[in-house]
Structure 1
Amino acid sequence: MPPDSPQEIGRRIASFRRARRFTQTALAAASYVSYAMIRAIERGARRPSDEVLESIADALGVDVARLRTDPGGSERRVHQALPAISEAIAGYDLAFGLPKRRSDELAHEVAMAQKWRLAAQYGRIAAVMPGLLADAIRYMHAAPSAEQRYAAQLLASAARSADAVAYKHGAFDLSARLIDLMRWAAERADDPLMQATAAYVRAETFFAARAHAGGLMALERAIDASPPPGERRSAAVRGALHMRAAVIAARAQNAAAADTHLVQATHLSGQVAEGTYLGTAFGPESVRIHEVSVAVGLGRDYVEQALRAAAEWAPSPSLPSERRSGFYIELAKAQEWAGLPAEAFSSLRVARAVAPQHTREHPWTREIARNLLCFYRSDAEALTHFARWAGAV
């Protein structure tokens, strides 16, 4: 689709700025952009660079894709970064000198990357990840023995954030290598909960290969090996494994196993508050979202089950954006199957508002949009625009 004009970008920035009761001076200070540039951008007299636009988006507290609807900078950054990420991890088992960042700086940037992953801001992750991974690997090898476990934890978290970028953009071979790195680091962290989390992420390789029966087996082994759910974090980690096992069992068309794991996940969600544990969201709302995932995974015969699970309910804004947008995409799939095109399109639009980058890269978004174009004529202009944005036409 054609790039947004400077005038369109400027109008969106001004709208969000006013909604947040910022003056142009306040926005300039918060985004570290000059007042003169903010004025010029809002007038449409200047097109902001990717870096400036991301700084403004951060100051406004919105995803950059809310300011710029064409794929633009985020996709370019991701595809430019993938070879550099691959290079950074090529010799992860070898020592290549000292890290450029101090350990506290490294920890801060790894935490920011995790925050961006949960918010589905893949362009921002891609921009920093090659250097961040390289330093995390160097720190892993150079850290004193007393810091080895900590260094391994940082490396595992960095690898997981990088994997989100690779997996969501279809770079499945790189994703598998990053997951291997995460598992390697998790073993050196000597932390059973981190190893269980690595097993949770490893399921992506089975989803990508459509090897759902094998993925179910791997997750069930990880559940058996995980620590008993005696405290909050262990209950959340095991519950997340059951949650993911339920989804992959559904994709394997094993309804009995899907139901068993969903029951276990529901039981464990009653022991913890909704939250993010070792980088994974888990709790009662996450399990309810996965009820929809399971029903959709089982296919058209379960569409009423999916609609019932989502009836008169919406995930709260406190949940990670990636998870919320995934819920609306899967709900849109169920609504399309049920012959509810207006509702399906509405759900896709909500998904886009919640996490534009995640929604645009989700293959079901393109599939649903293409199907709706064939059969849904109401609001045709808006649907056509959406389909172009998603790359469906």
Structure 2
Amino acid sequence: MPRLDDDHTGTRIKEQRRLARLSQRELAVRIPYSYSWLTQVECGARPASADFTAAVARALRVDVTVLTGQPYVTQLHQDRLADLVRPIREALDLYDLGPDPDLATRAPDRLIAAADTLCEQVRATRLHTAAAALPDTITELTTAAWQTPSTALWQALASTYRTAHDISVKLGYYDLSSVALDRMDWAAHRASDPRLSAVRQYMRALVYFREGEYSIGRRLIGSGQDILGQSDETRESLAVAGQLHLGASVIAARAEDESAVATHIAEASAYAARVGEAADVHWLSFGPTNVAMHSMSAAVEMRHFDDALKQAKQIRPPASLATSRRAHFLIDKARSEMELGRAEASLKSLVAARRAAPEQTRYHPGARETIRGLVHLTRRTPDSLGSMAAWVGM
């Protein structure tokens, strides 16, 4: 078995707990997990799941990234992604400066198409390609929208801000993702597009979901539903409404509210029956397949791993499903398999996630913790698992 590094979520939890002057027993009474569970995570004998880490972060009043160690700078430099972050940050700061008189921009239709291409690249998990092109597209759209304001240009600019959020989250720069969402709201208001504003509230809710602030997440979902009520009933608005229910379902699952989970999944299913597979609507991947995947994710969040795997076996992702969503499903499946002691199946799911979406999988904290769990679970580590552990930096 390879020797894992000592810099992992458990050791960071121990460090922050000591800084807060809490014993293990004192911290354990503040989280919905046992003393034994906490001690195993701290010593590295048990992986720190996303729900566990969020609960500890909330109890210690620190950001989740303090405990996960994100962004994973060493790997980001290896993949030549770290250098792409600052230009995105700078482009996001141009929003209120008006048009740049020295900048030559592409024609509006080409800029709008470029914004859609960026969304497509992120869904295909081509993060390096999207991150490299994003700053120039934001910069040009900012000038174009100020020079010749139109609904279509403001919508496209809001879309690029949403892409900045997506990339920032996947690479672990959560501070930057919050800035991007603020810019998205700013542009959505200028586009007078309540659907975009509702999508932004959905994404804000997931930020609080990651941080373990479930009551705020639920309020943001409610706010998104209220905003969406200002728009006409179209296929687009129905898909956004359904996605809001999916967001609410996983938040309810983390809050261990099974009744609310069932209600939101049922509501989302009703919307999906009306719109079908709607991957083209705001790049949300909404539809019957995504509803099924969220139902399975909710089971994982509630630690109903047997149920999660039963659901996973019934899911047949269509070819049109975004690669990013497919990889997320495989990572959830791998965690359930690992928790049930099915090491070989779990590793197979992780390898499939890596094959489909290498950049997303490498920087996904859940994938990392599952790999760590597998190393401890497996008495004799196969070469493929050792390779995966080294690949993510363990």
Give the TM-score band, short-chain normalised. Answer: 0.7 to 0.9
Counterpart of 2:119 (choices 103, 114, 131) is 114
Q: 1:57 matched to which residue of 2?
A: none
Q: 1:235 matched to which residue of 2?
A: 238
* 1:85 is the counterpart of 2:88: yes
Q: 1:285 matched to which residue of 2?
A: 289
- For the Cα contact (< 8 Å) 1:74–1:124, is it kept in 2? no
Rounded Cα–Cα distance in structure 1 between residues aligned with 2:266 and 2:326: 21
Q: 1:333 matched to which residue of 2?
A: 335
Counterpart of 1:157 (choices 156, 159, 165) is 159
Question: Superposition pairs for residues 96-245 of structure 1, below 5 Å?
Answer: 96-98=99-101, 99=103, 100-144=105-149, 147=150, 149-227=151-229, 230-245=233-248
Q: Which amino acid aligns with 1:386?
A: M
Deviations 1:275-319 (A, max 9, x none): 2212211100010011111111122xx112211211243322220
Rounded Cα–Cα distance in structure 2 between residues aligned with 1:328 and 1:352: 9
- For the Cα contact (< 8 Å) 1:213–1:249, is it kept in 2? no
Q: Which amino acid aligns with 1:118?
A: R
- For the Cα contact (< 8 Å) 2:197–2:227, is it kept in 1? no
Rounded Cα–Cα distance in structure 2 between residues aligned with 1:109 and 1:275: 21
Aligned length: 317
Question: Superposition pairs for residues 17-36 of structure 1, below 5 Å?
Answer: none
Give the alignment's TM-score, normalised by structure 1. Answer: 0.76
Q: 1:316 matched to which residue of 2?
A: 318
Q: 1:275 matched to which residue of 2?
A: 278
Q: 2:269 matched to which residue of 1?
A: 266
Counterpart of 2:373 (choices 356, 367, 371) is 371
- For the Cα contact (< 8 Å) 1:106–1:132, is it kept in 2? yes
Rounded Cα–Cα distance in structure 2 between residues aligned with 1:305 and 1:387: 28
Shift of 1:379: 5.9
- For the Cα contact (< 8 Å) 2:292–2:315, is it kept in 1? no
Rounded Cα–Cα distance in structure 2 between residues aligned with 1:255 and 1:385: 38
Give the structure, 1 or 2, with the largest relative contact order (CA under 8 Å, sep 6 or more): 2
Q: Which amino acid aligns with 2:135?
A: P
Gaps of 5+ in 2: 1-73
Q: Which amino acid aligns with 2:79?
A: E
CA 1:378/1:347 → structure 2, altered by over 3 Å: closer, same or farther? Answer: farther
- For the Cα contact (< 8 Å) 1:229–1:235, is it kept in 2? no
Shift of 1:71: 5.9
**In structure 2, the residue corresponding to 1:158 is in which secondary structure?**
helix
- For the Cα contact (< 8 Å) 1:328–1:350, is it kept in 2? yes
Q: Which amino acid aligns with 2:297?
A: S
- For the Cα contact (< 8 Å) 2:161–2:180, is it kept in 1? yes
CA 1:86/1:353 → structure 2, altered by over 3 Å: closer, same or farther? Answer: same
Shift of 1:73: 7.8
Q: Which amino acid aligns with 2:126?
A: Q
Rounded Cα–Cα distance in structure 2 between residues aligned with 1:208 and 1:138: 34
**In structure 1, the residue corresponding to 2:161 is in which secondary structure?**
helix
**In structure 1, the residue corresponding to 2:285 is in which secondary structure?**
strand
Gaps of 5+ in 1: 1-69
**In structure 2, the residue corresponding to 1:270 is in which secondary structure?**
helix
Rounded Cα–Cα distance in structure 2 between residues aligned with 1:229 and 1:257: 27
- For the Cα contact (< 8 Å) 1:332–1:345, is it kept in 2? yes
Rounded Cα–Cα distance in structure 2 between residues aligned with 1:93 and 1:260: 42
Rounded Cα–Cα distance in structure 1 between residues aligned with 2:232 and 2:122: 26
- For the Cα contact (< 8 Å) 2:202–2:220, is it kept in 1? no
Shift of 1:118: 0.8
CA 1:210/1:102 → structure 2, altered by over 3 Å: closer, same or farther? Answer: same
Rounded Cα–Cα distance in structure 1 between residues aligned with 2:184 and 2:226: 20
**In structure 2, the residue corresponding to 1:280 is in which secondary structure?**
coil
Rounded Cα–Cα distance in structure 2 between residues aligned with 1:226 and 1:240: 12
- For the Cα contact (< 8 Å) 2:337–2:345, is it kept in 1? yes
Counterpart of 1:356 (choices 355, 358, 363) is 358
Rounded Cα–Cα distance in structure 2 between residues aligned with 1:201 and 1:261: 17
**In structure 2, the residue corresponding to 1:93 is in which secondary structure?**
coil
Deviations 1:13-72 (A, max 9, x none): xxxxxxxxxxxxxxxxxxxxxxxxxxxxxxxxxxxxxxxxxxxxxxxxxxxxxxxxx968
Q: 2:256 matched to which residue of 1?
A: 253
CA 1:82/1:208 → structure 2, altered by over 3 Å: closer, same or farther? Answer: farther
* 1:298 is the counterpart of 2:279: no
CA 1:126/1:280 → structure 2, altered by over 3 Å: closer, same or farther? Answer: same
Identical counterparts, % of pairs: 32
Shift of 1:242: 0.5
CA 1:211/1:75 → structure 2, altered by over 3 Å: closer, same or farther? Answer: farther
Q: Which amino acid aligns with 1:129?
A: L
Give the alignment's TM-score, normalised by structure 2. Answer: 0.76
**In structure 2, the residue corresponding to 1:350 is in which secondary structure?**
helix
